[in-house]
Structure 1
Amino acid sequence: MDLERMQALLIALQEARFAGLRSVSYDGKTVTYGSDAELAAAIRDLEARIAVASGASARRRRWGTVAAKGL
């Protein structure tokens, strides 16, 4: 799947989610997601694929706590 097609699909998924719909139609096909969580997971997956296809790596951040006694 090329980058432009993935971006168009991402927009369709986001619009459906923001409208409260669980069905998305594109290229003459209709996909119905069982829950909002499934739709959100599909959006995250597509965003990651777009990041890889566009050459940007998906950034992961680590948060932690560092403590010292000050010796």
Structure 2
Amino acid sequence: MAFTQQDLDAINKAIARGERVIQYADRRVEYRNISELIAARHLAISDLSAQAGHAKTRQHRMFHAGKGI
């Protein structure tokens, strides 16, 4: 499913109000908790970013666990 900016706005409003039910055009979605709603927001943001042609960036982190002489 492709998300729209209106879908993302509806998710953000629901999070701000503490609601778990969102009405998208012709369908109604009820999330079990706010954590699921936040996960849906992250999914919508990444989908909208992909639609806009932005490549996903990968972060690389290096850790050193040596003796530190």
Task: Say yes or no: TM over 0.5.
Answer: yes
- Aligned partner (choices 5, 21, 25) of residue 7 of structure 1: 5
Q: Does 1:51 align with 2:49?
A: yes
Unaligned 5+ segments in structure 1 are: none
Q: Number of aligned pairs?
A: 68
- Larger RCO, structure (CA 8 Å, separation 6 or more): 2
| Percentage of identical aligned residues | 24
Match of 1:64 among 56, 62, 65: 62
Q: What's the TM-score, normalizing by structure 2?
A: 0.77
Calculate the TM-score normalised by the size of structure 1: 0.75
